[in-house]
A = this chain, B = another copy of it.
Amino acid sequence: MSTSETFEQRLRNRAAGIGQLLEHILADAPESDEIARPPRLLQAMRHGVLNGGKRLRPFLVIESAAIFGGSALAARRVGAALECLHCYSLVHDDLPAMDDDDLRRGQPTVHIAFDEATAILAGDGLLTLAFDIIAAPETPLADREKTQLVLALSRAAGIGGMVGGQALDLAAEKDRPGEQGIVTLQAMKTGALIRFACEAGAILSAASTEDRQRMRRFGEIIGRAFQIADDLLDLTADAATLGKAAGKDAARGKGTLVALHGKEWAEAELTRLIDEATALLAPYGDRAAILVEAAHFVAQRKN
């Protein structure tokens, strides 16, 4: 990081780069093996992805890879794949049968801007595209790393990870999970992809098993911090700040650790998680400086 660049500037610059790459990947022209790209579906996929997000997950992939000297282009492409996957989950999560949200980042959600069937297919298309991007010849990685990334991503995203967490979340209104249930739900629904982002940087750099496990653990910790910060925001922020409906989880009576233990506990827990994350990265010294800042950012974000 050049001395004049703040963390926020760096995050914004990385996000702009990922946005450009996603623009390129979701361009009109079909890739070699494709028969055709139906324009309206492509538009819906673009609407779901090219929405000015912070691109936190790709940022984590890129900065994790930088620690181990991984290919920057490979990291950007894996980051773009992960962002497609993350955005598919938002498109499906917003559907009437799920969270039934009309707004996302201040814009109409995909099923509002298009229609419900198109939103289902756009989500399916984005999920599928994530694996396409990793495996594609344009991603400069050995087949060994590609296979490991596909496996780690599918585990993080599937029934044993994010999708399973969404199912637990749907059931939470009725089931009212206790503390351990909430921890599991959140580790799956939100944590698994953030954990993958950090682990992916090590995988694509062909880092050692020890490094990979360390980055995985780092990802778990900041994933948990991310969720607690989210729950704090949901309690305190308003819709204008969030770009989406606020207080919705609380109104539905979904349990959070913040609701269970209070705001003071949450703030102390965030500090503890930042400390733990920082200690984990100590062996990497200055090379991990950006990720330490990322841990602070995730825990202290205001929107």
From B35, B143, B153, B187, contact of A35 by CB (8 A)? B187
Q: Determine whether the beta carbon of A127 is less than 8 Å from that of B124.
A: yes
Q: Does A164 contact B (CB under 8 A)?
A: yes
Cβ < 8 Å to B, chain A residues 76-123:
88, 92, 95, 97-98, 115-118, 120-121, 123
Q: Does A288 contact B (CB under 8 A)?
A: no
Q: Determine whether the beta carbon of B160 is less than 8 Å from that of A36.
A: yes
Q: Which chain B positions have C-beta within 8 A of A157?
A: 128
Number of copies: 2
Residue of B nearest to A216 (CB): B33
Chain A facing B: main interface SS: helix
Q: Does A59 contact B (CB under 8 A)?
A: no
Q: Determine whether the beta carbon of B125 is less than 8 Å from that of A150.
A: no
With the chains together, A45 CA to B33 CA distance in Å? 29
How many chain A residues sit at the interface, stated as a range, is 35 or more
From B31, B92, B188, contact of A124 by CB (8 A)? B92
Add 4 more A-B contacts to A34-B155, A41-B164, A136-B151 (CB < 8 A): A92-B120, A97-B120, A135-B148, A135-B150
Q: List 27 A-B contacts (CB under 8 A).
A: A33-B151, A33-B152, A33-B160, A35-B164, A35-B188, A36-B164, A37-B160, A38-B159, A40-B171, A45-B159, A92-B121, A95-B120, A97-B116, A98-B120, A118-B170, A121-B163, A121-B166, A121-B170, A125-B159, A129-B159, A131-B154, A132-B158, A134-B150, A135-B150, A143-B146, A143-B147, A146-B147
Could you tell me which A residues sit within 8 Å of B by CB distance?
Answer: 30-31, 33-38, 40-42, 45, 88, 92, 95, 97-98, 115-118, 120-121, 123-125, 127-129, 131-132, 134-136, 142-144, 146-148, 150-161, 163-164, 166-168, 170-171, 184, 187-188, 192
